[in-house]
Amino acid sequence: KEKEITAYHETGHALVAKMLPNADPPHKISIVARGMALGYTKTLSEDRYMWARSKFNDELAALLGGRAAEELVFNEVTTGAQDDIKRATELARRMVTDFGMSDKLGPRTFGDKQELVFLGREISEQKDYGDKIANAIDEEVNSIIQKAHSTASKILTENKEKLIRIAQKLVAEETLEGDKLEALFSEPVPSPLPQATPAS
């Protein structure tokens, strides 16, 4: 059962990333455990020095694709998405507090961050805003994450047959990559047979 849930989880990440224009394209998905992770999805990422908000939003949706796939297929959530959710929350918070990417709070930063070099580059943050702003930051972070989760859920719902087919293939083969994975993404899903029209 865990293997099957992991297969849907990883396929969820990969399929959402594949369908969104600004997410890094998936190159390999595996349900062979590595360390604490039961599976993993590898993407082809480019070196970049500048990130756009649209890029962050698509990457967030791909991060939450695993959780969304579990919900869609099993109507249940597991602890498998813990690291994804933590990374998504950190990224959404940085979008708001470091990069000024919040429409509501505007182009400013929140929290005066100091690097404490003598403590091995530990970051210390001085809170330079009041409780009202702290609540607004939380609301914005929450809104960004909810939107990304909705995007992932919508993509997977619309492509459920493809999700199921790739996940089942992953259960059977344990690792899919390169051209083989690409072929599964682009393979058309057979449409249901047309219903016979009753004779009048």
Which residues are tagged catalytic?
10
Distance CA 200, CA 188 (A): 34
Q: Quote the CA–CA distance of 29 and 20 in Å, as a whole number.
A: 17
Tokens of 3: 């293997």
At residue 190, what are phi and psi to the nearest 5 degrees?
-60, 130
Q: Which residue has the tokens 């020095």?
A: 49
Candidates 112, 113, 67; CA nearest to 89 is 67
| Strand ranges in 44-142 using DSSP code E only, listed in sequence order | 112-116, 122-126
Q: How far apart are CA 141 and CA 96, in angstroms?
A: 7
CA distances from residue 14 to 11, 19, 79, 94, 181 in whole angstroms, order as listed: 5, 9, 19, 24, 10
